[in-house]
Amino acid sequence: MEQSQDREMVTRLLHEWSNGDKRALEALVPLVYEPLHRIAMRCMRSERPDHTLRATALVNEVYLRLVDSEVAWKDRAHFYAVAATVLRRILVDHARALNREKRGQRPEKIALDDVLFIGPQVDSGVIALDDALKLLASRDQRKSDIVEMVYFGGLTYEEVAAALGISEATVHRELRMAKAWLYQQLGPGKFAEPTP
């Protein structure tokens, strides 16, 4: 768990990086790598055991996409919220590419190295969850964002509340409603919550 001092340092370094300081990025990486790896591990625990993508590769891909982004970072919670979105996109893109390959269609080029693919099986669970979250977003963007931040980003209710400018009670209530909606859309046993 990050210490309060580290949290403040992350926010300061994000601001400096947003303002063009490349040294801030170098100092930031060691502070955010371990929390990002824990988030990726938690997400991967929700996947099937023979998943072809590993947590370390997932974190590396998130890092590469974030480094090339031009986001005006607000704070630590904003960083992890964006990282959650990127992580979700990577998992969905990976699953869709493998599904296309499995069906004999030409796979779309993705940014992951071939060494990450160690088996042909694909779990469509992450694709179904992504589709359900897109549908939820079309009806209630905030609920979708909350699920994404908690499920894919590993943010606490306090961090989600800060990122969205709402109360923790609202986060709790809306997450409960969103999970119920997802259970209904995906069916019993299809929406597995990540284990801490």
Higher-confidence position of 59 and 6: 59
Contact 2, 10 (CB under 8 A): yes
Contact 194, 40 (CB under 8 A): no
What pLDDT score does 163 carry? 84
The first and second tokens of residue 116, run together, are 């990450």
Q: How far apart are CA 67 and CA 129, in angstroms?
A: 27
Higher-confidence position of 106 and 132: 132
What pLDDT score does 172 carry? 95
Q: How far apart are CA 2 and CA 132, in angstroms?
A: 32
Q: Cβ–Cβ contacts within 10 Å for residue 99, how many?
A: 15
Instruction: Answer whether residue 51 shows pLDDT above 50.
Output: yes
Higher-confidence position of 98 and 102: 98
Taking each helix axis from N to C end, the angle separating 157-164 and 76-102, rounded to the nearest 10 degrees, works out to: 100
Residue 124 gets the label, from left (phi > 0), alpha (psi -120 to 50) or beta, of alpha
Q: Which residues contact 27 (CB under 8 A, 6 or more apart)?
A: 13
Q: What is the pLDDT of residues 12-40, one digit of tens each?
A: 999 999 888 889 988 999 998 888 888 88
* Closest-CA residue to 122 (of 71, 69, 53, 187): 53
The pTM of the whole model exceeds 0.75:
no
Q: What is the pLDDT of residues 133-162, one digit of tens each?
A: 899 999 999 999 999 888 877 788 998 998
Burial (0-12, 13-18, 19+ Cβ within 10 Å), 150: buried
